[in-house]
Structure 1
Amino acid sequence: MRDADNENSTAASASASAAAADGQTDRELRRASAAQRQTLRRLLIELFVIVVLTIPICIYEFAVEPERRGFFCDDESIRYPFRDNTVTPLLLGLLTGALPFLVFAVVEYVDSMRAGELSSTVELLGWQLSAWCVELGRQLTYFMFGMLLTFDATEVGKYTIGRLRPHFMAVCQPQLSDGSLCSDPINLHRYVENYECAAEGFTVADVRQARLSFPSGHSSIAFYALLYTALYLQRKLSWRSSKLVRHFLQFLLVMLAWYTALSRVMDSWHHWSDVLTGSLLGVAGALITARYIAKLFQSPFHAVSLGVGLRREDTSATLQEVCPSTPPPYCVNSSYSDDQYCTKV
């Protein structure tokens, strides 16, 4: 009879253990499902933000006409000859898109390889992805977000101001509403608002671009992308063999941005103030993105050193000095008895 009770007790315990295990498994599955839903929600929100930031760029480029500003016929700052771009839009895309992507990919791969985590995987929405690929995607998301912010700010300035490029006269070839030309002596100091562009040898798009001088888009995008990449290297890249390689690469990146900005004045596509404003806009975008969005320079908690600079001292001598007047248990060699201590406290 006792054996039967023991068997029943064992079976009940096993059933209870199995039920507890099933309950724990269900809780783990629910937590995993909740985590997946939260990840999916975050990805959708971030994708929505990216789309929202892209919409103004498309509207400005295809549906908005820049502000139509007048000019003085004798304004020499807009009488420069037309020249092709030294840094073409394709080359700008390679410098500000392909180059940072290559740098991010190489650095994240090497960093993961050095840490011995190259084979580590992360489950994302049911897919097993390499941990370094997930980190690469996170860094690219931050980079793209800052790029869109800088691009939006640049487009607002271009289409709101509508400043004429240095080669405006060469492209527009304006004809005044009364049929006269700027070359006529009567129009020497005249401020012109009503005019039509003959634009012989140029397209309508060229004339439209001739009114988008401020600020320089090449300068803002180049300085944002390349300076952000330099800041990324400052945080991520370390080479024990040399301390100068990282700074040399950063110098090259900044010089590429600087040369891109200078080429806009050299090619007569922008005034110097356009380039200066665009460069400052790109620098501000890179610093804000690196500091407050990507948080590249936020110190981890474990890196905080507690007690740094505190001097260690031998307190035994001090303790012995105060012992005669200090009741137990604070003094080791005290002559106070328990009764005397009670009267003291």
Structure 2
Amino acid sequence: MKYEKALLLVLAVTMTIITELDLLPQIHRMGFYCGDPKLSHDYIGDTVTARYLLLISFFIPFLILIDKNLYQSSFSTYLLMYITFIIGYCLCISSVNFFKILFGEPRPHFFDTCKPVEALKCTPGSYVSTFTCTNSDLRRARDSTKSFPSGHSALSTFSAGFVLLYISNKASDWKRIVQVLCIAWILSCTVTRIFDHRHHWWDVLSGIVYGMGLAVITLR
């Protein structure tokens, strides 16, 4: 069992590194409707940056250390739980990154970030199936077609959801505080993705569902 978990950890970390470094080619890119208002927002950045998302989500399970009752009888039990969390954490990141290059959905700021040359001369309402981004920032141009699903929503929900499910049947004076912090983290990472025009609402919803589902599977 220990060797199986160690192998899973190595595979999950490897997949995360490969997908985070953007080493996989784009599998598919959706087209767009010329002048689509859903894709015409300006790029304004992230309220919750990717760096803070990764760091805070990674350290959220440490909230369980507030009270020994939350991680049962021994610290070794907590370590086993945390290793399990890291495996799911890495699988969440890598699988969401893969879905992004698989679906290739334009972000709400697609026109502003990709700057497709085809959008300059197409008839409003007509569908453009293939396009070429003219933005000199290649990383940002490629990111403009990675809207589905929301990685912020999936990862924040997975990390906080994992802790919420883990402590649900445990008695502790700190339990309510941990629950409130976890829910606040999910809300801050999901709602801001829509207000920042970084994702469509269905991207965020799918990320929440996927993240919570993965949390349940990881715990079981």
| Equivalent residue number for residue 4 of structure 2 | 45
Show the counterpart of 2:91.
149
Secondary structure at the residue paired with 2:28? coil
Paired residues for 1:133-212 under 5 Å: 134-176=76-118, 182-184=119-121, 187-199=123-135, 203-212=137-146
Return closer, same or farther for 1:237/1:75 CA change in 2, 3 Å cut-off.
Answer: same
Structure 1 residue runs of 4 or more that deviate by more than 3 Å after TM superposition: 54-60, 104-112
Change (3 A) 1:110 1:147: closer
- TM-score under structure 2 normalisation? 0.87
Q: In the alignment, which residue of structure 2 is the partner of 1:265?
A: 194
Q: Which is greater in Rg? A: 1
Q: Paired residue for 1:216, among 150, 153, 159?
A: 150
Gaps of 5+ in 2: none
Task: Give the C-alpha shift of residue 66 in structure 1.
Answer: 4.5
Q: Which amino acid aligns with 2:218?
A: T
Q: 71, 89, 93: which one pairs with 2:54?
A: 93
Q: Over residues 170-218 of structure 1, what are the superposed CA-to-partner deviations in whole Å (9 max), with x where a residue is unaligned?
A: 0111113xxxxx244x522332234322215xx1111111111000010
Q: Partner residue of 1:308?
A: none
Query: Does 2:51 match 1:103?
Result: no
What letter corresponds to residue 210 of structure 2 in structure 1?
L
Alpha-carbon distance in 1 for matches of 2:40, 2:182: 33
Number of residue pairs the alignment of both structures matches? 218
Given that 1:80 and 1:170 are in contact with CA atoms closer than 8 Å, whether structure 2 keeps it comes out as: yes
Deviates more, 1:204-213 or 1:90-99: 90-99
Instruction: Please tell me the residue identity of whatever aligns with 1:238.
Output: S
* 1:317 equivalent in structure 2: none
With structure 1 as the length reference, what TM-score do the two structures score? 0.58
Q: Secondary structure of 1:63's match?
A: coil
8 A contact 1:65–1:159 mirrored in 2: yes
Q: For residues 175 and 96 of structure 1, what CA distance do their matches in structure 2 show?
A: 38
Identity %: 25
Pairing of 1:296-335 with structure 2 (within 5 A): none
How far, CA to CA, are the matches of 1:110 and 1:158 in structure 2?
35
Q: Greater relative contact order (Cα 8 A, min sep 6): structure 1 or 2?
A: 2
Any idea what SS the aligned residue of 2:26 has?
A: coil
Classify the secondary structure of the residue corresponding to 2:23: helix
**2:30 corresponding residue in structure 1:** 69
Alpha-carbon distance between aligned partners in 2 of 1:272 and 1:266, rounded to the nearest angstrom: 10
**Cα distance change on mapping 1:55 and 1:249 into 2, 3 Å:** closer
| Counterpart contact for 1:150–1:285, Cα < 8 Å | yes
What is the root-mean-square deviation of aligned Cα atoms in Å?
2.3
For 1:235 and 1:149, the matched residues in 2 are separated by 25
**What per-residue deviation string (whole Å, max 9, x for no partner) do you get for residues 282-324 of structure 1?**
111122333x2xxxxxxxxxxxxxxxxxxxxxxxxxxxxxxxx
